Amino acid sequence: MSTSFHHIHPPDIATLWQLVSHYSPSGNEAAAVETLLARFAELGYTKAFRDAAGNAVGIMGSGERQIVLLGHIDTVPGEIPLRLETLPGEGEVLFGRGSVDAKGPLAAFTDAVAAVGVRAGWQLVVIGAVDEERESTGARFVAQQPDYHPEFAIIGEPSSWQRVTLGYKGSARAVVRFTRPLTHTASAEMSAADTACAWWQTLSTQVAARNADRPRAYDRLQPSLRGLNSGNDGFTEWAELHLGCRLPTDVPPKAWYALLEHMEPPGEVVPQGYAIPAYRGEKRTPLTRAFLGAIRAAGGKPGFVVKTGTADLNIVAPVWGCPAVAYGPGDSSLDHTPREHLPLAEYRRAVAVLTGVLERLTAPVP
Phi (first) and psi of residue 146, to 5 degrees = -70, -15
Catalytic residue among 101, 111, 131, 132: 132
Query: Could you confirm whether 92 is annotated as catalytic?
Result: no
Q: What pLDDT, on a 0 to 100 scale, did the predictor assign at position 185? A: 61
Is residue 5 over pLDDT 80? no
Q: Name the burial class of residue 143, with classes exposed (0-12), middle (13-18) and buried (19+) by CB atoms within 10 angstroms of its CB.
A: middle
Tell me the CATH number of domain 170-276, given options 3.30.70.360, 3.40.1740.10, 3.20.20.140, 1.20.1740.10: 3.30.70.360
- Which is it for strands 47-50 and 56-60: parallel, antiparallel or unpaired? antiparallel
Q: 266-289 pLDDT, tens per residue?
A: 999 999 999 999 999 999 999 999
Alpha carbon distance 282, 284 (integer Å): 6
Domain 11-168+279-361 has CATH 3.40.630.10: yes
Q: Which of 84, 75, 67, 59 is nearest to 19 (CA)?
A: 75
Query: Could you confirm whether 282 is annotated as catalytic?
Result: no
Average pLDDT over residues 195-210: 96
Which residue ranges make up each domain of the chain? 11-168+279-361, 170-276
Looking at the chain, the whole-number percentage of residues with pLDDT higher than 70 is 96
Q: What pLDDT, on a 0 to 100 scale, did the predictor assign at position 183? A: 72
| Topology agreement, domain 11-168+279-361 and domain 170-276 | no
- Angle of CA points 331, 3, 120, to nearest 5°: 70
- Angle of CA points 166, 50, 96, to nearest 5°: 60
Q: What pLDDT, on a 0 to 100 scale, did the predictor assign at position 308? A: 92
Is residue 4 over pLDDT 50? no
DSSP 212: T
Catalytic residue among 74, 331, 340, 346: 74
Q: For residue 10, what are the CA distances in angstroms to 5, 15, 149, 281, 348?
A: 11, 11, 36, 36, 11
Q: Which of 53, 36, 5 is nearest to 98 (CA)?
A: 36
Q: 16-53 pLDDT, tens per residue?
A: 999 999 999 999 999 999 999 999 999 999 999 999 99
